[in-house]
């Protein structure tokens, strides 16, 4: 894809999803890798045409010693050259990692916490590509995802936008080459110690032998499933509200009219509303007591779900649970 085509493709994606309005400020998340460098330069080339202001942000995860610091210096030089503001954070991911977190998930969570802290009503643009979307869907499938996992990475969610989502990593590298753009290479991306890298280096090449247009095919699948997923969520939300009683409990008789896939979604929504992790085992246990019309479960610490007098409700501490 010629570089001018990448710019036009990104512009079309921005307009298709109404990502950016005139007068907005966009903060591009820049690691220094090829994807984020291309994102920054494409947005820089579009900012006057589309009427938005541009800034950048960078997170140093302190996972690769001097290499991490070198990446940060590279991003600082690039932003000085473009004369755009840069927000930075230095986060010691290993120190903040919780016991059961994967390193990747912990880094991601801390990164998005930083995005939220600096956004203040502004847009955050991340450099996720069609290649990333394909890898994410394949990872979710291997782990046994629900339908939502096949939706992949959304092009827009709240103030997070992903203008490169319909461009491949190959498109990005060609753009950088044609425009003589330097970028850094994260050495961990070359290792197969991480699940995503195994998918990227071993699984994706095999699938591309079967279908050279793999990324386009996965993008179409992702979009189709996303449409279905939104519709099913709408049905579930409407039935959940119908079942909700004045005292914020749920009529079990109404819940039991739902098909299995809708009931699982309703339970997931109830869990999320009550800060209960919606893992599959807990959701299925709750579906079980709803179908039985009686019972109680303890899906997580200090949260209980009980059916009494044909109503389902959540109790948020042990003392209250004993009183009921």
User: First-to-last CA distance in the chain?
Assistant: 64
Q: At what angle do helices 260-273 and 214-243 cross, to 10 degrees?
A: 80
The annotation status of 33 as a binding-site residue, yes or no, is yes
DSSP annotation of 153: S
Which residue is associated with the tokens 């709408």? 234
Helices and strands: H and E segment counts in the chain: 15, 10
Which residue is associated with the tokens 């999803």? 17
The annotation status of 144 as a binding-site residue, yes or no, is no
Strands ordered across the beta sheet of 86-90: 86-90, 53-60, 25-29, 123-125, 160-161, 156-157
The annotation status of 233 as a binding-site residue, yes or no, is no
The annotation status of 192 as a binding-site residue, yes or no, is no
The annotation status of 119 as a binding-site residue, yes or no, is no
3-state secondary structure of 141: helix
The annotation status of 32 as a binding-site residue, yes or no, is yes
3-state secondary structure of 313: strand
Enumerate the known binding-site residues for ATP: 31-36
Enumerate the known binding-site residues: 31-36
């Amino acid at each position: 894809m010629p570089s001018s085509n990448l710019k036009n493709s990104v512009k079309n994606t921005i307009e298709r999803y109404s990502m950016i309005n005139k007068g907005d400020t966009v903060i591009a998340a820049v690691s220094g890798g090829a994807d984020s460098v291309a994102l920054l330069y494409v947005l820089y080339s579009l900012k006057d045409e589309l009427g938005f202001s541009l800034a950048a942000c960078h997170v140093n995860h302190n996972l690769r010693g001097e290499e991490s610091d070198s990446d940060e210096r590279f991003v600082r030089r690039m932003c000085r050259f473009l004369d755009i503001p840069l927000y930075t954070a230095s986060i010691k991911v290993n120190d903040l990692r919780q016991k059961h977190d994967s390193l990747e998930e912990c880094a991601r969570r801390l990164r998005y916490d930083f995005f939220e802290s600096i956004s203040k009503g502004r847009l955050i643009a991340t450099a996720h590509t069609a290649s990333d979307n394909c890898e994410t869907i394949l990872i979710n499938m291997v782990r046994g995802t629900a339908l939502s996992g096949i939706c992949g990475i959304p092009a827009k969610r709240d103030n997070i936008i992903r203008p490169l989502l319909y461009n491949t990593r190959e498109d990005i590298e060609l753009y950088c080459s044609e425009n003589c753009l330097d970028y850094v290479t994260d050495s961990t991306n070359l290792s197969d110690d991480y699940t995503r890298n195994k998918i990227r280096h071993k699984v994706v090449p095999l699938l591309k032998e079967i279908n050279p247009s793999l990324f386009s095919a996965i993008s179409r699948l992702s979009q189709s499933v996303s449409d279905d997923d939104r519709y099913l969520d709408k049905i579930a939300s409407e039935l959940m509200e119908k079942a909700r009683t004045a005292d914020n409990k749920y009529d079990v008789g109404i819940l039991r009219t739902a098909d299995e896939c809708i009931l699982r979604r309703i339970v997931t929504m109830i869990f999320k509303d009550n800060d209960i992790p919606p893992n599959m085992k807990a959701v299925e246990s709750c579906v079980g007591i709803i179908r039985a019309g009686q019972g109680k479960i303890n899906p997580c610490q200090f949260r209980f779900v009980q059916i009494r007098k044909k109503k389902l409700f959540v109790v948020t501490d042990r003392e209250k649970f004993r009183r009921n």
